Every structure is written in C-alpha cells, then in structure tokens.
C-alpha cells in the first residue's frame, strides 16, 4: 500500500469533519445562488438599457482590459508609480515575500511603530506577513471579521472572500469567549458586537494600517478597496501611516476600466450589486484634510507573477480574487479550503499555486479536480481554469511526476487503443481477463468488485459493471442483419 501523502491526510480530515462540510456547503451554496440571481438581474437591466452591460458583455470587456494591461504591464506599473509619487505616496518594489516583509519592517522601524491593524488582504497571507512581523515583536491585528476569527484560531483563510467559511457559530463564540474571558451567546449581534468593540480599540491605538488592494488605477495612482464591514476605511483613515501591498497584476489603466471591474467583482464575490464600502485612496492626507494617514506606502509585489506573464497561463493573472470559482466548485464544496494546503484554495488556487511556487509541494492539487468546468463558467474574467489544469497535468507528465501505475495503465491504453486491431482483441478478451472479479447479482447479471491495485480506488466504494461477453462491435453485423430482415 502506498503511504498516505499529506494532501490525502488533509482530504480525509476534511471529509470526516461534518461541521466543516456542513458550514462550507451552506455558505458556498448561498453565495452561488446569490451570484446567479444578481447576474440574472444584471442581464435583465442591461436588456432595458439600465446597466452598463450583460454579464457576458462585462466579462468580455473585463478580459480585454486585463489582458491589455498585462501585455503592457511595465508601462502601466511605471505610470502607477509616478502617479502615486505625485500624489505624495512612497512606492516600493518587492521581488518576493522576504523583500516585501523586510520593507514593511523597515517602515515600521523608521516610525518606531509597534502596533499594526490590517484590513482583509490575500496577498499579505501569501507572504505570511503576520508571522514575519510577529517574529520581530510587532503586534498585527486582523480587522476583517472573518480574518479576525482565523487569526484567533491560528489558522489560514479557508476561502478567498469568506476566510472563516468553515467555522460554525458555536466555534466562533468559543474563540471570542476565550478573548473576552467569559462565555458568549452565538447570535450575530453578540458576536459582531464583541469583535467591533475589541477591534475599535485596536484601530485607535494602531501605528500603521496595512491593506491589500482590489485594484490600483494606473492613470490616477488610486488604491481601491472593496469591503463590507468598514474596516478598510478605518484602517486607511485612523492610523498615521498606511502600507498597501499590491500584486503587480492588480492594475487597471483608468477609472472607466475600473467601473467595468466593479460591475463584476461584488456581483461575482457575494452576489451584491455594490459593496457596503468602496474606498478609493489617492495619496495621503493633504493639508487641511481632517483624516487619513500622513504617510502612504505602496509595495508592488512580484513573488513569481512575472514568471507567468510569458507563458500560456498568462490569463490566470487576470484573476480578481472574487472566489466565484470556489463557490461553484464541487470539490471545494466537499473539502473547504484547508485541505488544499495552499493560501489560495479551490480552482484558482489549484492553478495559481503551482505556477507561483512550483510543483514540488503542489502537484497533487492538480489531481483534485473532475474537470467539470463550473469554475470557468462562473469566472468573471472567463479564465479557463479547467483547461489550465489539464495543461499543468501535461507538465507533470512531461516531468515524470506521475503515479507509476497510473502511467503504465495510461500508456498501455494508448498503445492498445490507437491500434484498432489490438483494441478489438482486448475488448473481446476483457470479460475473460477480469473473470476472478466477476460477481453475480440475484437476477443473474454480472458486475465487478474487489478489483486489485489502482482499480481498487473504484471498487472500494463503488461496484463496476462487468465487461460484456460480446462487445458492441461484435454485435454490429447481426444487428444490421436483423434490421435488414425487417
């Protein structure tokens, strides 16, 4: 028996966790249905001329915008950087996670900052920023409710948009109760109220606010934050210093393009027409303004992205991290996010993680997909995720990273089945070949069970039909005779 891989162990753990599966299924289904409804609304409005386009139209425009931006990324990055500087911000460039974290630490050191507050950001998860800062004795607190829950649980986000998707109310109440020092009720008002009161203090005392960015507008140097809780606004208005970490693929050329993206992002992510809060931050506080940071830093992060630019996978960089692929994925629905082991889970994580970090730890993710294509269908950028998974599997095969028995089986099938004579011989012999595994039902029909080797993967949980004694191609002549005789 082959030893269980860490991935398989995580899968089994997730599948055995009924709380997790119930919570994930409930929320993913809810988000999927809300998205579907809001897209139907959008299409109906567009037909009446009351929206800027149908889903398909917006998707086509968004694809064009993002692919154009990626094709001219150097120019747009330069323009964005110049504009941010003109607005009074400071621009940094980070090649990888280590560099990005070092830049953040240096900014904090220079300001004597000890306490940081953060709004929701996947890219800071990608570079494990919290660990890096905590290792230097700094305090960094997550202010997004879901992220706060995850931070207390010492976990990573289980979903790109809904980090605590896998947690039940009871589990959240227990985590908050441990901070409060007394037991908490499980109703939304109590839980959200507790987080709000606790985090409000953290906002007031923070030296630095850290954000990601949903978009950066190159023409104006504007950092755009899409949130529902208002924590993004507090993070960027209360602390005296703001640091925004931005993947280099996050650019859009201008405000008109931004409008197209914003037509798609909230709808795809949470089924909302627009989010509760949408911040557009163009520079630090100007003289005479009552709030906002006195210092604004933007760190543009590469961390493997530029390696993808010149490959067939370029369109993966058009992803706007809406999570629609997760919500529509039948595998994610079973597993939740942690089984993947990667920061970005679900279909986009399955494709993006090996592209950013190589195959070594991540080749197995690529097998955890039935290629149903629901992800591509629901992606607001039309990223052909299932196609990319096939081509990445192709890379695995070329590199010899494949289960040896599976490889032997597939090579044998290729040899035999691309030769029609051999194919027919094998088909005729199949019934004889599997004789030891043939079982008989009460009605006399046959099936297979207890198959050996890799085929046991099937028969452990499913019976298998027995091969016909006479395959179709051997019945063809008599069928024709019968029909002809009519």
Partner 1 sequence: MKVSLFITCLADHFAPQVGEAVYRLLRRHGVEVDFPAGQTCCGQPSWNTGHLDDARDFARLYIKTFARSEYIIQPSGSCAGHVRYFYPEMFPEGSRERQEAVAVGQRTYEFTEFMVRVLGVKDVGARFPGKAVFHNNCHMQRELKVQEEPLEMLRCVRDLELLELPRPDLCCGFGGAFSIKEPEISTAMADDKVDAIAATGANLIVSSDLGCLMHQGGRIEKRGLPIRTLHIAELLWEGVQQNGR
**What is the binding site for partner 1 (CB under 8 A)?**
8, 11-12, 15, 29, 330-331, 333-335, 367-374, 376-377, 390-397, 402-403, 406, 410-411, 413-414, 417-418, 420, 423, 427, 430, 447, 454-455, 457-468, 470-473, 475-476, 479, 483
Q: How far is the CB of 361 from partner 1 (least distance, A)?
A: 17
Residues 367, 348: Cα–Cα separation, whole Å: 14
Q: How far is the CB of 374 from partner 1 (least distance, A)?
A: 7
Residues 306, 103: Cα–Cα separation, whole Å: 20
Q: How far is the CB of 416 from partner 1 (least distance, A)?
A: 8
Enclosing H/E stretch for 141? strand 139-142
Give 178 or 405: the residue with its C-beta nearer to partner 1. Answer: 405
Give 281 or 331: the residue with its C-beta nearer to partner 1. Answer: 331
Q: Using alpha carbons only, give the angle 172, 324, 225 rounded to the nearest 5 degrees.
A: 75
Q: How far is the CB of 424 from partner 1 (least distance, A)?
A: 8
Q: Using alpha carbons only, give the angle 242, 245, 250 rounded to the nearest 5 degrees.
A: 125
Q: How far is the CB of 377 from partner 1 (least distance, A)?
A: 6
Residues 235, 171: Cα–Cα separation, whole Å: 27
Alpha carbon distances (Å) from 439 to 445, 454, 455, 460, 463: 8, 19, 16, 15, 10
Q: How far is the CB of 154 from partner 1 (least distance, A)?
A: 26
| Burial class of residue 272, CB neighbours in 10 A (0-12, 13-18, 19+) | middle
Q: CA dihedral in degrees (333, 378, 217, 52; nearest 10)?
A: -140
3-state secondary structure of 447: strand
Give 28 or 165: the residue with its C-beta nearer to partner 1. Answer: 28
Give 35 or 305: the residue with its C-beta nearer to partner 1. Answer: 35
Q: How far is the CB of 326 from partner 1 (least distance, A)?
A: 14
Give 109 or 475: the residue with its C-beta nearer to partner 1. Answer: 475
In degrees and rounded to multiples of 5, residue 247 shows phi and psi of -65, 145
Q: How far is the CB of 468 from partner 1 (least distance, A)?
A: 5
Q: How far is the CB of 366 from partner 1 (least distance, A)?
A: 8
Give 84 or 381: the residue with its C-beta nearer to partner 1. Answer: 381
Enclosing H/E stretch for 252? strand 251-252
Give 287 or 421: the residue with its C-beta nearer to partner 1. Answer: 421
| Burial class of residue 135, CB neighbours in 10 A (0-12, 13-18, 19+) | exposed
Burial string for 364-401 (b: 16+ CB within 10 Å, else e) reads bbbebbeeeebbbebbbbbbbbbbbbeebbeebeeeee
Residue pair 166/24 in contact by the 8 Å Cβ criterion? yes
Q: How far is the CB of 163 from partner 1 (least distance, A)?
A: 22
In degrees and rounded to multiples of 5, residue 441 shows phi and psi of -80, 170
Please write down the HEC assignment for all residues of 349-403: HHHHHHHHHCCCCCHHHHHCCCCCCHHHHHCCCCCCHHHHHHHHHHHHHHCCCCC
Give 6 or 420: the residue with its C-beta nearer to partner 1. Answer: 420
Give 246 or 369: the residue with its C-beta nearer to partner 1. Answer: 369
Give 154 or 441: the residue with its C-beta nearer to partner 1. Answer: 441
Task: Write the CB contacts of 13 (distance below 8 Å, at least 6 apart in sequence).
Answer: 339
């Amino acid at each position: 028996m082959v030893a269980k891989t860490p991935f398989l162990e995580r899968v089994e753990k997730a599948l055995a966790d009924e709380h997790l599966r119930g919570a994930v299924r409930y929320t993913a289904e809810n988000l999927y249905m809300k998205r579907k409804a809001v897209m139907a609304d959008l299409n109906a409005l567009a037909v009446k001329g009351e929206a800027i386009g149908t889903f398909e139209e917006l998707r086509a425009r968004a694809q064009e915008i993002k692919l154009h931006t990626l094709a001219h990324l150097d120019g747009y990055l330069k323009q964005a950087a110049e504009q941010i500087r003109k607005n009074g911000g400071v621009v940094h460039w980070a090649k990888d996670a280590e560099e990005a974290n070092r830049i953040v630490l240096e900014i904090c050191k220079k300001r004597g900052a000890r306490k940081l507050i953060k709004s929701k950001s996947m890219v800071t998860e990608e570079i494990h920023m919290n660990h890096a800062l905590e290792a230097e004795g700094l305090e960094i607190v997550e202010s997004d409710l879901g992220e706060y829950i995850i931070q207390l649980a010492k976990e990573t986000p289980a979903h790109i948009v809904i980090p605590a998707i896998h947690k039940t109310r009871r589990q959240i109440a227990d985590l908050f109760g441990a901070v409060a020092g007394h037991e908490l009720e499980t109703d939304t008002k109590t839980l959200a109220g507790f987080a709000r009161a606790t985090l409000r203090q953290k906002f007031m005392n923070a030296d630095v606010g850290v954000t990601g960015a949903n978009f950066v507008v190159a023409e104006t140097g504007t950092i755009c934050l899409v949130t529902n809780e208002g924590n993004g606004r507090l993070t960027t208005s209360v602390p005296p210093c703001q640091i925004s970490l931005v993947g280099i693929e996050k650019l859009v050329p201008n405000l008109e393009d931004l409008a197209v993206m914003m037509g798609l992002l909230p709808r795809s992510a949470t089924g909302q027409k627009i989010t509760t809060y949408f911040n557009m931050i163009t520079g630090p506080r100007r003289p005479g303004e009552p709030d906002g940071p006195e210092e604004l830093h933007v760190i543009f992060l590469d961390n493997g992205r530029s390696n993808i630019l010149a490959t067939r996978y370029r369109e993966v960089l058009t992803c706007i991290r809406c999570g629609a692929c997760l919500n529509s994925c039948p595998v994610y629905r079973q597993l939740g996010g942690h089984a993947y082991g990667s920061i970005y889970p679900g279909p986009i994580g399955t494709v993006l993680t090996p592209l950013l970090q190589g195959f070594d730890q991540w080749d197995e993710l690529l097998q955890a997909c039935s290629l149903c294509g629901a992800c591509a269908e629901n992606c607001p950028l039309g990223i052909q995720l299932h196609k990319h998974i096939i081509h990445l599997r192709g890379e695995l095969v070329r590199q010899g990273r494949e289960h040896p028995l599976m490889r032997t089986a597939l090579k044998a099938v290729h040899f035999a089945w691309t030769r029609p004579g051999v194919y027919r011989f094998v088909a005729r012999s199949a019934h004889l070949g599997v004789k030891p595994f043939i079982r008989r039902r009460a009605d006399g029909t046959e099936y297979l069970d207890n198959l050996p080797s890799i085929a046991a993967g099937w028969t452990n949980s499913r019976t298998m039909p027995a091969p016909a004694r006479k395959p179709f191609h051997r019945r063809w002549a008599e069928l024709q005779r019968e029909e002809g005789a009519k």
